[in-house]
Amino acid sequence: MTLPALELGTDVEQLDRLAFLVLALRQLQASVEQTAEAWERRSYWVKVDHFRRAWSWVGQGAQAVADPLRRGDAVLAQKAAHSLGPRLPPSRPTRARDLTALWTGAYARLTQQSEPRNDA
């Protein structure tokens, strides 16, 4: 999903795409924490600290998109999502295919979830 795709489609599709972004960022944050915890067990303190700082944008970005989304402010959520653009890899042209199944229902899943813990 490229970030310009956030504005395409119906309001429901836009909410689903934004929620999908939040859920994906949360999964990435969980992976960052899992890696950091493994390095902590090996006492790689400096490496862990640098790694967490380098990836702190993931959790912050997810929260920046999720907060307005939970309040129903899709415009502010889109702005927050677009601010993540410089951190994301450039999009590559792909063959035309329907990827809507990836994010269909993501907004419902996001609103059913409890707020993630913020231990960092």
Q: Which residues are CB-neighbours of 16 under 8 A, at least 6 positions away?
A: 103, 104, 105, 106, 107
User: Tens digits of per-residue pLDDT, 15-52?
Assistant: 998 999 999 999 999 999 999 999 999 999 999 999 99
For residue 6, what pLDDT band results from cuts at 50, 70 and 90?
Answer: low
Question: For residues 59-80, b (16+ Cβ closer than 10 Å) or e, as one string?
Answer: bbbbbbbbebbeeeebeebbeb
User: Tens digits of per-residue pLDDT, 75-106?
Assistant: 999 999 999 988 988 777 666 666 667 788 88
For the whole prediction, is pTM greater than 0.85? no
